[in-house]
Structure 1
Amino acid sequence: METSSNHEETQKSGWRKFLPYIGPGFLVSLAYLDPGNMETDLQAGANHGYELLWLVLIGLIFALIIQSLAANLGVTTGKHLSEVCEVEYPLFVKYCLWLLAEVAVIAADIPEVIGTAFALNILFNIPLWAGVLLTGFSTLLLLSLQRFGVRKLELLITILVFVMAGCFFAEMSYVNPPVSGVLKGNVCAQTGW
């Protein structure tokens, strides 16, 4: 009887260990759902049909590999990449890496802010300057949610991801793309591979 209850305890603790990772997983999933990626994919699809789907698939595979390597680093060392860099590199290299990271973040965020401002302009006829200010304000508002605990922020992001997924599947059911075209676009042989 005791072994049965111990097994149940182990199973519960296994789920309890797993559940805290769901929120961060949804936070990471935003990298694939951001407006810049979606807009680029949709525009490429509008111009080239299904011919470039293989490129999206290859990019997704490489991103999964990089995330797997980052997870392995975290599991084996107990530190994330910036902490490992801090320990391993000299001061000059650390400052260079920090500056490069800041430039990369700025370069990645500018199109997102401008894209959101254009989307607000198209949807609600809000001037671009006001759209940029609203985007910045919404970012600060989301960051301020961390005061109430990171789990609340994770819950909000999870809800937003499900809303985006629902909208995407609703659009896909409306468009109803041909399965043969989608499969043909994912074949790398079409591009000479």
Structure 2
Amino acid sequence: MSGPRQGSSQPQFMTSVGQNNNVSNGPGTPLIDSIDVDQIVIPEKNSWKNLFSYIGPGFLVSIAYIDPGNFETDLQAGAQYKYELLWIILIASCAALVIQSLAASLGVVTGKHLAEHCRAEYPKVTNFILWILAELAVVACDIPEVIGTAFALNMLFKIPIWCGVLITGLSTLMLLFLQQYGVRKLEFLIAFLVFLIATCFLVELGYSKPNSSEVVRGLFVPEIKGDGATGLAISLLGAMVMPHNLFLHSALVLSRKVPRSVHGIKVIYLNLT
């Protein structure tokens, strides 16, 4: 497929088609209006070397799936119902892959993340309600994360709960401080932590020696037994399909400078998703 010819009035990229009184962009205005100088430039070609330039946003997104709250839900489901609810995780993972792929494609093609699109397309009242809900969601998500980490530090190292809360807050500030030195350094740190968690998981898997036939049955035979199984199934689903991850993924892909051509966008999209 060849790109638009020079001098053609046909727009090359997605344009705004709606009229919004709160936004200066009118119909037909390109959604991509600027290029960030801090973006990481990626050549328009396929290679194994370039693969390492793409996987950084994926590691950052993966953090949301392996937080302490999700671990607690998974452990509780496994302790009470063993492998019976694995099919929920399989279905939720497939759904999450599709939705995350759509979020990434939105950022790659338009050059704006999901929050910017909401602000551009919705009226002021709707945007205000979305902002309040987002703030409440951040607080509701951070409270169990901070307290969960504090309890983990207490159980592992006998650190008082209040000290664990302060340490958790300090670690967040350290990550924000690290971000000013470049997104690649932050991605490298997160990738190291993800590999460390994966290694620990594989070691624990070797110790537990799960029954392979029961695991396969749990993955592909849907069943919910027991009074609390439905609630845990909903918790597992919520731990995999998370709205805040859609906003995050659509924004993280913007750290890469996408070659503004049909082939370039396809290459970036396929690698980032």
Please report the TM-score for the alignment, with normalisation by the length of structure 2.
Answer: 0.63
Number of aligned residues: 182
* Alpha-carbon separation, structure 1, partners of 2:177 and 2:189: 13
Counterpart of 1:111 in structure 2 is 144
Counterpart of 1:6 in structure 2 is none
Structure with larger RCO (C-alpha < 8 A, sep 6+):
2
* Alpha-carbon separation, structure 1, partners of 2:46 and 2:212: 39
Matches within 5 A, 1:76-95: 76-95=109-128
- Alpha-carbon shift at residue 190 of structure 1 (Å): 3.5
Long gaps (5+) in structure 1: 1-10
- Runs of 4+ residues deviating >6 angstroms: none
More helix by share: 1
- Alpha-carbon shift at residue 14 of structure 1 (Å): 2.7
Q: Is the 8 A contact 2:85 2:223 kept in 1?
A: no
* Alpha-carbon separation, structure 2, partners of 1:31 and 1:110: 15
Does residue 25 of the first structure (1) align with residue 58 of the second (2)? yes
**C-alpha RMSD of matched pairs (Å):** 1.9
Does residue 185 of the first structure (1) align with residue 218 of the second (2)? yes
* Alpha-carbon separation, structure 2, partners of 1:105 and 1:173: 36
* Alpha-carbon separation, structure 1, partners of 2:182 and 2:50: 19
Q: Which stretch shifts more, 15-24 or 126-135?
A: 15-24
Q: Deviations over 1:76-98 (max 9, x none)?
A: 32211111111111122112111
Long gaps (5+) in structure 2: 1-42, 226-273
Equivalent position SS for 2:80: helix
Counterpart of 2:255 in structure 1 is none
Q: Which stretch shifts more, 58-67 or 168-177?
A: 58-67
* Alpha-carbon separation, structure 2, partners of 1:25 and 1:149: 16
* Alpha-carbon separation, structure 2, partners of 1:81 and 1:180: 42
Counterpart of 1:159 in structure 2 is 192
Does residue 67 of the first structure (1) align with residue 100 of the second (2)? yes
- Alpha-carbon shift at residue 23 of structure 1 (Å): 0.9
Equivalent position SS for 2:84: coil
* Alpha-carbon separation, structure 2, partners of 1:191 and 1:138: 39
- Alpha-carbon shift at residue 188 of structure 1 (Å): 3.5
- Alpha-carbon shift at residue 129 of structure 1 (Å): 0.9
- Alpha-carbon shift at residue 57 of structure 1 (Å): 1.5
* Alpha-carbon separation, structure 2, partners of 1:29 and 1:189: 26
Counterpart of 2:71 in structure 1 is 38
| Fraction of identical pairs, as percent | 60
- Alpha-carbon shift at residue 12 of structure 1 (Å): 8.1
* Alpha-carbon separation, structure 2, partners of 1:177 and 1:131: 33
- Alpha-carbon shift at residue 18 of structure 1 (Å): 4.3
**Which residue type is aligned with residue 185 of structure 2?**
K
**Which residue type is aligned with residue 93 of structure 1?**
T
Does residue 101 of the first structure (1) align with residue 172 of the second (2)? no
Structure 1 pair 137–189 and aligned structure 2 pair: CA distance change class (3 A): closer
Q: Is the 8 A contact 2:151 2:164 kept in 1?
A: yes
Structure 1 pair 170–96 and aligned structure 2 pair: CA distance change class (3 A): same
Counterpart of 1:14 in structure 2 is 46
Partner of residue 161 from structure 2, selected from 119, 124, 128: 128
* Alpha-carbon separation, structure 2, partners of 1:36 and 1:21: 28
- Alpha-carbon shift at residue 121 of structure 1 (Å): 0.6
**Which residue type is aligned with residue 14 of structure 1?**
N
